[in-house]
Structure 1
């Protein structure tokens, strides 16, 4: 390896690190929707140079997580009711095929791990006093264990957005609908039984209840009044 190629590889590694760090902070809502980011401050906080930090912000823009605003810097893309609807509608179209692939290709241990992650992520009733664990990434994990590299590569960006909007909602309020837990239990039972017909249908039912709860939270939670639910016009 030449000295020049070594520097290029190191720069790419730093850019990847910045991208992954920022993406995870945005998905977990540590960087809240609508938050402003100054590249210089971000570069310093990450301990990285300005170039890899800017490259990361540009990659996040391409992925739909940030946007540059003239004379203001970078903004974490606000969550809107319409964007939540569009993201979940797109996921609803792909989820049944993803579940079928998991049933065919994932190991019993992977299926069990997915169930544990889903339960930690959205406790619901009767565990409504248990805080959701937004550090787990069950939808991305589901995509990664489907056994089809092409589908994994295509589905991961959407899965990441799904997790972000659910994390945003769950950090505002609990999922209170008791039907959610029953639907999730039915889905996990169908997965454990490798039931290719029942499991995709059961997952869609889980998603429908979850989407309804998310919409309820975004419409009514007091704590989101300071968070933009409509995207401002870029100046």
Structure 2
């Protein structure tokens, strides 16, 4: 699922070049090749990518709208510094939205609930586990978004989708370790089983613990990766 902003951008499709620059810069931020607090100019990016400043500026405006960079008056652009308090507030909001979604699902007729969660049940319980962290990360996002969407409140699902986009920059780091991938499979399966048995409190407890542990792990991994990235020698 995409945010409203992404949908509007897709409908009014800008030049492919700006889209490519946007994706490249976003990946650089996600992988810490562009570090929080790093400053740069449009000209530097244009020279690096062998393009004009116009598509670079467009790409940067998209990234600014999504909260990844900020413009500095007369001094170019900056990757937004990490604000862990902000990210933790977003994780807390996730818990509120997803606990409510689980409550609503547990209150549905069992057959209807099973129908809505059938695809999730097949992937997380009945299908062989995947090992690639990036792939599992995408499916993890889809799992949580599907839970909220299945609850039947489109506005709640929209807010949750926007929140998901905002935390993606650090959330994907939770899938860089094999034990965290295994834990995700086990916890998702436990959530689904509790929901399908209409065990509201148990499903909410497992879900809350699942997100809380992920939040703590992501913070530790992010701090470690930031430290490692800063120790890397600068390429000539």
- Of 95, 116, 121 in structure 1, the residue corresponding to residue 98 of structure 2 is 95
Equivalent position SS for 2:31: coil
**Alignment TM-score, normalising by the size of structure 1:** 0.61
The equivalent residue for 1:21 is 23
Distance change >3 Å, CA 196–CA 75, structure 1 → 2: farther
Matches within 5 A, 1:50-199: 50-100=53-103, 104=113, 106-113=116-123, 132-133=133-134, 136=138, 138-139=140-141, 142-143=144-145, 146-147=149-150, 148-168=153-173, 171=176, 183-191=187-195, 193=196, 195=198, 197=200, 198-199=202-203
Tell me by how many angstroms 1:140 deviates: 5.1
What's the CA shift for 1:91? 1.7
TM-score by structure 2 length? 0.61
Alignment of 1:13-52 (within 5 A): 13-14=13-14, 17=19, 21=23, 25=27, 28-29=30-31, 32-34=34-36, 35-36=38-39, 38-40=41-43, 42=45, 50-52=53-55
CA distance in 2, matches of 1:67, 1:24: 13
CA distance in structure 1 between the aligned counterparts of 2:45 and 2:12, rounded to whole angstroms:
17
Residue 5 of structure 2 corresponds to none
2:78 match: secondary structure: strand
Q: CA deviation at 1:176?
A: 6.5
2:85 counterpart SS class: helix
Larger helix percent: 2
Q: Does 1:209 align with 2:219?
A: no
Number of aligned positions between the proteins: 206
Corresponding position of 1:6: none
Does the CA-based 8 Å contact 2:194-2:203 persist in structure 1? Answer: yes
